[in-house]
Amino acid sequence: MIATDPIPVRALNQVTYCPRLYYLQYVDCVMPTNEHVEGGLFDHRRVDDPGLKGKPRTEGDAVRSRGVPLSSEALGITGVLDQIEERGGERYPVETKHGSAPRDADGQATSWDNDAVQLCAQAMLLEEQGGAAVPRGFQFYAGSRERVAVEFTPALRTQTYAAIALCRELSAAHAPPAPLPAELRHRCFGCSLAPVCLPEETLYQIGTPDPTADVPAGVTRVIPGNDDGAVLYVTEPGSRVGKRSEHLVVSKDGRDIVKVPMHAVRQVVVFGNVQVSTQALQTLLENDIPVAYLTGHGKFVGAFSPPPAKNVGLREAQYRKFTDPAEGLILAKAVVRAKLSNQRALLMRSLRGDGDRGSDEPAAQGLAYAMAKLDDADSANAVFGLEGQGAALYFGEFGRFLKASSPGRSFDFSVRNRRPPRDPVNALLSFAYALLTKDCFAAACTVGFDPYRGFFHVNRHGKPSLALDLMEEFRPVIADSVVLTLINNEMLTPADFVTWRDACQLTDSGRRTFFNAYEQRKATEVTHPVYSYRMSYSRMLEVQARMLAAYVRGTVPRYTGFTVR
């Protein structure tokens, strides 16, 4: 929000509860929901009834008006009051809250500080409108079914003015404030913005982890470990994706092929000649479900996604940071170091023999040498050179990663080739990288980045450079791992590929097998190397993008690439 815009009264509640929450919600305009938010909306169903808004009604010995909008230029605040009650010559606000009332030292019901500030601001609006003092109001806590009186003391009014001033200050800031201190960290649990805020992770990065933690280097997980919904892949040429009631329906020639509930889908991926109806696209956008488009050969083209995140400040910081060659070099070293480390880990695991750790392999030693030389790299070209050396060592041994198979089911790999891939293994690698690109593209958009402005890959028109930057550290552990799983477990055979004019690609049945393996890999939980708790690879993509955003905005001092242990 602009620093001169009127401040919503409810924002005073958020800024008192957590200044970082206010910034993310009202400056960055990030507003996810969870069960607590949904519960609050349910409790407000009568207050928000359009048939009752602004209409005084006599109920017993009181006159009540619900949903009354009030604003004040002098105070710089605006809001819609849940309820104004008039009784015995007094006029005061009544606010409904979802949770239960807290208790004072005597066990009596009282109100939370942040709720009291919001109610006080409502009283100040009433005072300006009516010209009469409003000494008290009431909080109704739906969780405990209690109505609590709140006295608008001078101290509470001073706190309310301070909250207004803090909102102004934060609205003009270029980055969110630090997360809450340890004694208030309990507020993070249950907060709908915790998966975006990453409070524990951010504090760890800036060197102030919770001092009460059992393991000083550990981080308490406050984010969900799994993703809701599945990815709908549509590959049938000539098929159509439409909307029917609350379902997505894939049909061809008037016959339904697939029918899935809208709420069960988190992403739609279409290949080649597939049509998506306008009604389906509109509904997908309204539900924040992106649609990724790939060619029939599996090359990522782009995405049809909800409007860009409103946190323009992040994109401004991104352009400044990524334009600076020194900053670009720091980030390039971080992602290439992580990529080389993960390539080395996969190489050692794949070539490990009985009693052999795999670290004696010349390629493993060469990758370790390239990682060590990164510290001396003084330009992006030097980093590119080391990344290229690592790739040559890694793919020079990739054929040895493939286990011997039964006759008719074996695969050979001699050299990495693409555009187009000319053999089954290269076709699988290219296909895996295309899917990983679209997932990194989605992660960048979710966080609020411009996915086309990167720091390592060349910023060529139409090239999702940042998505390619983000995926570097995940290539070995997600894409390459899926390829090896499919081949070494004999989930695919040479019969699952077709070759035409030196271009090799999967058959339709082969793609279905690939999609299952790819999604299973993304759902695999792994320990984060910095935060020391487990999450899925799918979630890891977003976490890394969010920590990159924190670095770009100056919230944390460094960006650390993801590496497997």
Give the per-residue pLDDT at 485: 92
**37-75 residues labelled b (16+ CB within 10 A) or e (exposed):** eeeeeebbeebeeeeeeeeeeeeeeeebbbbbebebeeb
Record the tokens describing residue 109, joined without a space: 């019901």
Give the domain 7-173 fold: Lambda Exonuclease; Chain A (3.90.320)
Average pLDDT of 183-190?
Answer: 79
For the entire predicted model, the pTM comes to: 0.72
**Integer Cα distance of 526 and 537 in angstroms:** 7
- 406 pLDDT band (50/70/90 cuts)? low
User: pLDDT for 48-89, tens place per residue?
Assistant: 555 555 566 777 787 888 888 999 999 999 999 989 998 888
Average pLDDT of 175-184?
Answer: 84
Quote the crossing angle between the two packed helices 154-171 and 113-130, to the nearest 10°: 100
**Residue ranges per structural domain of the chain:** 7-173, 230-289, 312-552
Give the per-residue pLDDT at 31: 65
Higher pLDDT, 437 or 222: 437
**Integer Cα distance of 82 and 94 in angstroms:** 7
Position 265: which residue type? Answer: V
Q: What is the mean pLDDT of the chain?
A: 82
Picking from 350, 343, 346, 395, the residue whose alpha carbon sits closest to that of residue 370 is 343
- 116 pLDDT band (50/70/90 cuts)? very high
Written out in words, the top-level CATH class of the domain with range 230-289 is: alpha beta
Position 471: which residue type? Answer: M
Q: Which of 159-163, 204-208, 259-263 has the lowest mean pLDDT?
A: 204-208
**Integer Cα distance of 228 and 263 in angstroms:** 9
Q: Which of 139-143, 162-166, 358-362 has the lowest mean pLDDT?
A: 358-362
Q: Any idea what the Cα angle at residue 382 is, between residues 377 and 385, rounded to 5°?
A: 130
First to last CA, the chain: 42
Record the tokens describing residue 118, joined without a space: 């919001």
CATH homologous superfamily of 312-552: CRISPR-associated endonuclease Cas1, C-terminal domain (1.20.120.920)
Q: Are 195 and 446 contacting, i.e. CB atoms less than 8 angstroms apart?
A: no
Place of tokens 């990524």: 322
Rounded to whole angstroms, what are the CA distances from 331 to 235, 264, 476, 553?
A: 36, 36, 19, 14
Give the per-residue pLDDT at 60: 74
Q: How many CA atoms lie within 13 A of 401 on its CB side?
A: 27
- 210 pLDDT band (50/70/90 cuts)? very low
pLDDT of 233 > 60? The answer is: yes
Task: Pick left, alpha or beta for residue 111 (phi over 0 → left; psi -120 to 50 → alpha; otherwise beta).
Answer: beta
pLDDT of 9 > 90? The answer is: yes
Q: Are 504 and 420 contacting, i.e. CB atoms less than 8 angstroms apart?
A: yes
Record the tokens describing residue 427, joined without a space: 């076709």
Q: Which of 52-66, 395-409, 425-439 has the lowest mean pLDDT?
A: 52-66
Higher pLDDT, 542 or 190: 542
Q: Are 481 and 488 contacting, i.e. CB atoms less than 8 angstroms apart?
A: no
Q: How many CA atoms lie within 13 A of 400 on its CB side?
A: 16
Q: CA 201 from chain center: how many Å?
A: 14
Give the per-residue pLDDT at 119: 94
Q: Are 20 and 199 contacting, i.e. CB atoms less than 8 angstroms apart?
A: yes
Residues 6+ apart with CB under 8 A from 209: 200, 203, 216, 217, 218, 219
Q: Are 322 and 455 contacting, i.e. CB atoms less than 8 angstroms apart?
A: yes
Give the per-residue pLDDT at 45: 46
Give the per-residue pLDDT at 296: 72
pLDDT of 39 > 60? The answer is: no
Percent of the chain clearing pLDDT 70 (strictly above):
86
Give the per-residue pLDDT at 44: 47
Give the per-residue pLDDT at 222: 47
Give the per-residue pLDDT at 186: 80
Give the per-residue pLDDT at 310: 64
**Integer Cα distance of 514 and 237 in angstroms:** 18
Higher pLDDT, 339 or 416: 339
